[in-house]
Structure formats: structure tokens, C-alpha cells
Amino acid sequence: DSGVTQTPKHLITATGQRVTLRCSPRSGDLSVYWYQQSLDQGLQFLIQYYNGEERAKGNILERFSAQQFPDLHSELNLSSLELGDSALYFCASSEGGSGTEAFFGQGTRLTVV
Amino acid sequence: DAKTTQPTSMDCAEGRAANLPCNHSTISGNEYVYWYRQIHSQGPQYIIHGLKNNETNEMASLIITEDRKSSTLILPHATLRDTAVYYCIVRGANNAGNMLTFGGGTRLMVKP
């Protein structure tokens, strides 16, 4: 158990819909990272938050957005869903520095039908 | 962040040591070498990381060359449960964040 909790574990929704994925970081961790893993692609970095502020952006679509709340949990919002958004979405957390380990949750499997 | 080069796949006999190489010839002085593994669609699992010195923990050993341009992850006694994709990542910190950038990794198959 990494200490990072993601909910829900599985999500099935229709094209055009909007969903919210939730991540609770390990206690004390200030940084949260979101990743997408599609069937035919590797782990793609989406976005990082540090203590409530956006820190870095990767290959995140404009239809996707995220935020980190004062209690440090984070949400990833995916809207106008397309079939190609079907993927595993992972959240990771770390204390913040590059010398500190990042631990991953078990992911949310999103299926868009 | 510096890019890494890893073999696409490797085999190892159960009970033997698995040595996974990684090249990171453009690594900068303040960048760490991290190793993660992913077992069949589970969340990536942290294994070990280091800056300059060799490191050892309960899972593995990390050997970093003196010039820091390459490293080797050693699983001392591989088991079938070690079958996974292993990622070598060079991670630094700059104004653009300190995310982990995953490449293709090495698919390690441990065979009985």
C-alpha cells in the first residue's frame, strides 16, 4: 500500500460526458502528479500541483483540468469525453523535492463507450 | 530532464540476480536516478533512487558509475513476482517542476 488513494477504481461513461477523478496523497506530501496511461502508450505526465498551486503542465488536453484543494487532495476533471480518453489515470504524491520519492496510487480505469 | 536508454526486454532465471542497465549520458549534476517498476497495469512502484553513491534497500541495489553516465539496477535473487516493466528515470528540479518522465522501460521476464 503506497498510501496514495484514488477513487473510483473503475469508471464507465458515455462519450460527451464529464467525470471527476479524485486523489488523496500520502500524509504530509505537498506535491501531486497526474498521469495517463493508454493501451498503446506509456505513462504520460499530465500536470503537477504543489501545495495548491499548479507547478508544471505536460500533455494535458484543454478538455482536462485539475486542482489541488487546501487539504491537499486533488481532482482531475475530464470533460467532453471521447473514446480515445479511455485509459488508466494515475496519481502520485511526494513531499516535493526531487530527492524525495514519489508514490503512485493504484489508478482509475476509465472506459468511455 | 536527461533522457535514458534501456534495453527493451530482458530475461532472467528465477533465483538468479537480475542486472538492468540504463544509460543517461546527458545527466546533470543535480539530477537523481530513479527506478520504478510496473506490474501489469498496477500503479508504478518505487524501487530505489540515488544521486552519486551506490544505494541499497530491501528491494534492490543501485550502482551508479563514477561519471554518472550510466547505472545498473540489481535485483539480487529474482522471483517470478519480479516480472514487470522497469523504468529508469532521471529526475531534476527546475522552474518547470520535478515530474517523473517515463520512457519505454525494460520488460523483465523472470523464468522458472
In this prediction, residue A49 carries a pLDDT of 95
Closest CA to A103 of A8, A27, A9, A21: A27
Does the beta carbon of A53 lie under 8 angstroms from any beta carbon of chain B?
no
pLDDT digits (tens, 9 = 90+) for A16-34: 999 999 999 999 999 999 9
Using a 10 angstrom Cβ sphere, with 0-12 exposed, 13-18 middle and 19 or more buried, the burial of residue A83 is exposed
| Cβ-based contacts of A106 with chain B (< 8 Å) | 42-43
> Given this model, what pLDDT does residue B96 score?
64
- A61-74 mean pLDDT: 97
Would you state the pLDDT for residue B71?
97
Cβ contact A98–B96 (<8 Å) = no
What contacts B91, CB < 8 A, 6 or more positions away?
A: A98, B1, B31, B32, B33, B34, B49, B98, B99, B100, B101
Contact A106 B100 (CB under 8 A): no
pLDDT band of residue A99 (cuts 50, 70, 90) is confident
For residue A18 the three cell numbers come to 464529464
DSSP 3-state helix, strand, coil percentages of chain B (rounded to 5)? 5, 45, 50
Quote the pLDDT of residue B66.
95
Task: Answer yes or no: are the C-beta atoms of B60 and B12 closer than 8 Å.
Answer: no
Q: Say what the pLDDT of residue A106 is.
A: 97
Query: Please, are residues A18 and A81 in contact by the beta-carbon 8 Å criterion?
Result: yes
pLDDT recorded at residue A98: 73
Of the candidates B110, B108, B109, B111, the residue with the CA atom closest to the CA atom of residue B22: B108
Which A residues, 89 through 108, put their C-beta within 8 Å of a C-beta on chain B? 90, 92, 96-99, 101-107
Which residue in chain A is spatially nearest to B103 when comparing CA positions? A42
Q: For chain A, give the mean pLDDT.
A: 95
Contact flag A104-B99 (C-beta cutoff 8 Å): no
- Chain A residues in contact with B42 (beta carbon < 8 A): 106-107
* Dist CA A24 CA A73 (whole Å): 5
- HSE value, Cβ hemisphere, 13 Å, CA-based, for A26: 17
